[in-house]
Chains A and B, each alone.
Chain A
């Protein structure tokens, strides 16, 4: 057993290292910004005194290495700093950033992060069982009309842009037949069912994209195994085709399936940007795009880090699950 923990521990350390490199990369690219943050915050008509005071508040007059360490230290303690919009507001309002009383980036992000996770969760709850089921069926009846129809439709939905699928869904499920609302304004204090109703269209859009990919991988993983001798043995002893797949093929193709599911969950969290913008869903992606447009660096930085972290975390999870599901990896020689 010791060896598994060793392997997993090594993966986790590697993941943390990657995260560290990513944070460095994000910080470095943000520091390529021309001019000064303080100038950016206050705009054109800023007095030198105001610029100097905000530089003081944000610690901009320190050395970049010192600033990076401060930023990293803050993040570890859950402090992402203060957004430029809020800092600007505070500066003109007369309160110092240090005094508090204004919303920090973490305060702004927390509810939106919850919303994004809710959206990703709903889409995953629909898409994972659906795609595994469809994948098994497509593998079972491979090269039939059913398989070909599924192949064409999934290929089309993978390659279409998200907003195309989103507008098609809006057209049919919101405008022509008002089943779901086309704008998902989710807010605090809604009941679970209300929230689910509002989230349904963006979740369905994501489901369409993600299901196609997962289903194709599931089908490929199972079909790869269908030529192995032990499957032939099962067929010869008269096992029903569905049972062959469920009992014999599925356990062995679990590793690639888990892998692709984790990758797609990572996509769900990071790829929601466009979908959230289409449906005006108050998630992290929406905030990210808005902040990119007004160049609100602290928020952009924080969002980027959160996206990257969830991406790395899910990849790590996929790695560990793959190791656990495969005895040959579990006991390396």
Chain B
């Protein structure tokens, strides 16, 4: 019984939250890695792209709520998600036209693209703060829990409860659908294959008649979809605050690099690795170990490796280890 209690505690506080967080990071890292693979630069504006997409979705949600539309037990934001994706895609394509295309045609160095993305980051940050403000926004509605802690206790007779929130369930399901769709697209469709070819070898791809403008266009649309979805899921699960989204840049980049920049599978793996380490290292294992140890015994300390304020240090630590020992990432990325 104690073993089961330990397992439930672990699932409640580590496994479920980390899986949801990992899915959100993976979607974010997929966007970063796609831009890196096809457009060949690290997009510092990605966190703010997520914030922008989420903001539009929140506006859509408010509009739907005001019109009395709801999605039953599911959050209304899911209905507004397509709108968020569409507007973000338009913004991305517009940004590419106005900013990035010039440097692409001039074959500028990658770092120039990065600096340009800093400018884009400033502007998008300004737009988001201008339109929605800097405060926390909670926009999750519908049923809050799939399993409530009390119901779980009554159902199983265990001492520990297990809560499974709707937003966590939705995160996992939506992320799964998005990833399957993305891989189907990249591996099975003609456009997807041309994107991979373009990523592997630009010159050869151009030689075989692939239209680079089309590849870039499709990439931005996919990136907008991934970023908006990641942002909305994160916002549903926690809350929306522009500055938090900006700070997500670090774990997302860490996930993409750890997995191997430019490698979509690696981005997913990296996302979950970062999420599980972050939650695992900052969780106090006292209760879990207490259940596993002898009867009537509790460990003295909290058994928490690092305080939660240092969660950035975890992604950073993993990043450093990977950079030191395997700079191309776990799954082989594009280049060092």
Q: Do A and B bind each other?
A: no
Give the interface of A toward B (CB within 8 A).
Answer: none
Give the interface of B toward A (CB within 8 A).
Answer: none
